[in-house]
Structure 1
């Protein structure tokens, strides 16, 4: 048994990569054969080099702070998030020209039987279990508010896809106060066969139905193969303005390397 994990990242149609990630077996799990896994996805904002710098700084600071802590996992996750935000604040103070840079971040501690996470922004954490796909973390963009308006009859359904500010962030790491944080208070139990997906919002091109279809089709595959399949599905869409996309896959217990035909 153990944690099977893998990753794929693409630039898409952008000129550079503003996503950063960490996929690290922790000291209790130095061989990747069991114990704990730290997974982080950060999607930079602020334009080109500044976005890339923000996401890399935040991911690295979060990684270092989490590893250095000894408190219960949710406490370590919260502290690591604020350390990442403080790192951005320090960089902006030292170089004011960096003002305006920021990043989303989702950080998860995956164990064989439990999952804890913290997130800010619109990057994703999904759980696929028993044929059902569920988004676990909150979406800190305008999209949930638009969907609520549709459900209340205050707007047409098309607004969710067409509103010019549908992807505007309501919360991100910018070195200032963080408006919204999604922090799990108690680890959730994992089951054999669960699949976890952490991803930047470039994965949105697939939509939940197609995301579910690809995960289900590669149900018996290694995590690295599933990550590759998801990125291949993204590239296969041929979207002219495809965003950067980073996909991390973790399966709490090793599965066979068989896969179903798409």
Structure 2
């Protein structure tokens, strides 16, 4: 008897209003082990270099995680150790390519590992990981950019919400994969335990051309739809804005089996 799919996963990649695609995304589900992963990388470095950086990150991540999950009996401790190892491998790959070709390039990394109903993650940069639960949207990973510090000034009353959204340093990264020291890594040891009605949404920062309340409102309406329909709904909402500055878009939607 074939195992039932452990997760409903959908991926979308779109150039937005950019001339090139510097985001990359991949996923794999291992139904026999009730395990899987999703990884998103948002490259930077100008023409071609950003695309190369994100693909190097995705390739390094998949090589490490596939080697663990393709075994006959994956060991949980080894899988969890593989998260930082995959990030280090990606960092090395980007650094080596930059040194060899004398080009400066970098990328964010957001990767999740799903083991049954538990989710572990590692993130470097500003690609968001959202949990939609009980009709509420929460970003559960850290934002390694200047945005949190700028938003804190709104809470202090020293900046308006409009000034914060338009701040020129808002998207400046405080941690990134470039081959050197990685200043901040978000990789909690404690898992997120999913319940049947949960949704996970992963994205590059291009998804955040929709505000959190806008994303939450769309998910409230479409939460019972298949993952592919939810992902497409988010993409169409971004396209309907017709924002001339729309960045590349990478979106993954994950639903536990049975939702």
Fold in common (TM above 0.5): yes
What is the SS of the residue equivalent to 2:108? strand
- Assess if the C-alpha contact under 8 Å between 1:74 and 1:184 holds in 2: no
Distance 1:162 1:95 in 2: 35
- Assess if the C-alpha contact under 8 Å between 1:5 and 1:223 holds in 2: yes
Please give the TM-score of this superposition, normalised by the length of structure 1: 0.90
Point out where structure 1 has 5 or more consecutive residues left out of the alignment.
256-262
1:51 corresponds in structure 2 to: 50
Q: Which of these residues, 77, 86, 89, is aligned with residue 83 of structure 1?
A: 89
Spell out, residue by residue over 1:54-99, the C-alpha distance to the aligned partner (whole angstroms, 9 max, x if none).
0000111011112224544332111111111011112122211x2x
Q: Is 1:7 equivalent to 2:19 in the alignment?
A: no
What is the SS of the residue equivalent to 1:167? coil
Q: Which of these residues, 179, 184, 195, is aligned with residue 180 of structure 1?
A: 184
2:222 corresponds in structure 1 to: 218
- Assess if the C-alpha contact under 8 Å between 2:65 and 2:82 holds in 1: yes
Distance 2:217 2:161 in 1: 24
| Number of residue-to-residue matches in the alignment | 248
RMSD across aligned positions (CA): 1.4
2:39 corresponds in structure 1 to: 40
Distance 1:107 1:145 in 2: 24
Please give the TM-score of this superposition, normalised by the length of structure 2: 0.91
What is the SS of the residue equivalent to 1:158? helix
In terms of mean alpha carbon deviation, does 52-61 or 107-116 score higher?
107-116
Q: Which of these residues, 247, 250, 253, is aligned with residue 246 of structure 1?
A: 250
Q: Is 1:160 equivalent to 2:159 in the alignment?
A: no
1:259 corresponds in structure 2 to: none
How far off its partner does 1:23 sit?
1.0
Spell out, residue by residue over 1:28-75, the C-alpha distance to the aligned partner (whole angstroms, 9 max, x if none).
x26xxx711110010001112100000000111011112224544332
- Assess if the C-alpha contact under 8 Å between 2:61 and 2:86 holds in 1: yes
Point out where structure 2 has 5 or more consecutive residues left out of the alignment.
69-74
Distance 1:51 1:45 in 2: 4
- Assess if the C-alpha contact under 8 Å between 1:9 and 1:247 holds in 2: yes
1:258 corresponds in structure 2 to: none
How far off its partner does 1:137 sit?
0.6
How far off its partner does 1:168 sit?
0.7
1:93 corresponds in structure 2 to: 99
Distance 2:61 2:125 in 1: 15
- Assess if the C-alpha contact under 8 Å between 1:18 and 1:52 holds in 2: yes
In terms of mean alpha carbon deviation, does 151-160 or 38-47 score higher?
151-160
Distance 1:133 1:207 in 2: 11
What is the SS of the residue equivalent to 2:145? coil
